């Protein structure tokens, strides 16, 4: 298969996934818990729906924790309202407010540095938006 066809198929699969992921907006909000566990992610408006699928599927299986996010600079007011409703008003940090110090700029380091700050007082689980938790989490 040539590169153009592969790209087209990938794009179609992505659009189909996003159409299905939209249904997450009709689900009940997560009962975020202040129990010392934080589920942390860096997200932007492009991955809002996949992130909600990842976050809600993890929380359903984990049964604990609250959410904290690093805004990559693209979250809109509407995105923040959706996140507040579905995830119990997660703490949202702005990437522009993270001082990378001697580390390079560019997202990865800001995410890791924010995670390191959070872990001082919490057990932090980093969650990527391209995951879905389907089974038990005994560990």
Write the DSSP assignment of 81-97 as a string of letters.
Answer: HHHHHHHTS-EEEEGGG
Q: What is the number of H-type helices and E-type strands within the chain? A: 4, 4
pLDDT digits (tens, 9 = 90+) for 31-60: 999 999 999 999 999 999 999 999 999 999
Q: Residues in the chain, how many?
A: 139
pLDDT, tens digit, for every residue of 112-121?
999 999 999 9
| Interstrand relation of 37-43 and 66-71 (parallel, antiparallel or unpaired) | parallel
Instruction: Quote the pTM value.
Output: 0.86
Between strands 123-126 and 91-94, the pairing is unpaired
As a whole number of angstroms, the distance between CA 43 and CA 105 comes to: 16
Confidence of residue 74 (pLDDT cuts 50, 70, 90): very high
Burial of residue 133, with CB atoms counted within 10 A of its CB: 0-12 exposed, 13-18 middle, 19 or more buried:
middle
């Amino acid at each position: 298969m040539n590169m153009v066809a592969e790209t087209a198929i990938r794009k179609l699969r992505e659009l189909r996934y996003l159409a299905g992921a939209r249904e997450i907006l009709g689900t009940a909000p997560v009962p975020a818990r202040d129990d010392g566990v934080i589920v942390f992610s860096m997200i932007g408006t492009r991955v809002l729906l996949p992130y909600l699928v990842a976050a809600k599927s993890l929380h359903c299986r984990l049964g604990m924790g609250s959410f904290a996010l690093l805004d990559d600079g693209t979250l809109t007011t509407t995105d923040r309202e959706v996140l507040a409703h579905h995830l119990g008003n997660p703490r949202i940090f702005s990437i522009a407010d993270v001082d990378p110090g001697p580390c390079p700029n560019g997202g990865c380091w800001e995410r890791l540095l924010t995670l390191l700050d959070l872990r001082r007082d919490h057990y932090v689980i980093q969650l990527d938006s391209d995951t879905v938790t389907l089974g038990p989490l005994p560990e």
